[in-house]
Chains A and B, each alone.
Chain A
Amino acid sequence: SQTIHQWPATLVQPVGSPLSLECTVEGTSNPNLYWYRQAAGRGLQLLFYSVGIGQISSEVPQNLSASRPQDRQFILSSKKLLLSDSGFYLCAWGSWGYGYTFGSGTRLTVV
């Protein structure tokens, strides 16, 4: 069965520090991978999606970047965090015909 792992679960980082959130998928190959952000009281906002290794599409201009170094690995990064980067980040994988599955999320607080 397919599983998705996302870590860390919570993270507190100072303004200006770098960020790296990692997401890995098991039990499937060539999945579509997604990074979402959920701000308090708001819906999920798509940040990046990837249909293959090295293929990244950005939905919203921002202080973040994404990379897909391996087929089942998706990384969300930032060189310098801003206070506005605080939020709940969700990784998801999806494949036509299989639906979409979300990771457990990372609560990021930038202080």
Chain B
Amino acid sequence: KNQVEQSPQSLIILEGKNCTLQCNYTVSPFSNLRWYKQDTGRGPVSLTIMTFSENTKSNGRYTATLDADTKQSSLHITASQLSDSASYICVVSEGGGNKLTFGTGTQLKVEL
């Protein structure tokens, strides 16, 4: 069964600090992996998308890594801001691209 597991489930950090969120998956065949940011009560917004051949991709203060051999991905947030408080969801797409498997997300809270 295809699964995506994220850790930690929740995280509280101080503004300005860095943090790293983890995603492990068992989806096969693998097509691509996305990280989304979802503000409370809103739809998810894409941060990065990575295919099999990519192992690092950045989007501003967000840097995602992918190790296709170990089936692990991470999302690193640098110099966190209060507006980074949200749920971060890892989503893996199967080989045909039509089906997505979602992680349950990491709830990040950035405090002063």
- A positions within 8 Å CB-CB of B: 6, 32, 34, 36, 42-46, 49, 51, 88, 90, 92, 94, 96, 99-105, 107
Contact = CB atoms under 8 A, between A and B. Distances in A.
Given A102-B45, A104-B42, A46 B100 contact: yes
Contacts of A101: 46
Interface in B46-103: 46, 49, 89, 91, 93, 97-100, 102-103
B44 A90 contact: yes
Given A43-B89, A100-B46, A107 B41 contact: yes
B30 to A, nearest CB: 14
* Top 9 A-B residue pairs of the complex, sorted by shortest distance between their CB atoms: A102-B43, A43-B104, A44-B102, A96-B97, A43-B102, A105-B43, A104-B43, A102-B44, A103-B43
B46 A51 contact: no
B85 to A, nearest CB: 17
Contacts of A96: 97
A100 B43 CA distance: 12
Contacts of A103: 43
A44 B104 CA distance: 7
A94 B97 contact: yes
A5 B45 CA distance: 14
B1 to A, nearest CB: 13
A29 to B, nearest CB: 17
Contacts of B41: 88, 105, 107
Contacts of B103: 43
5 contacts: A36-B102, A43-B104, A46-B99, A49-B98, A102-B45
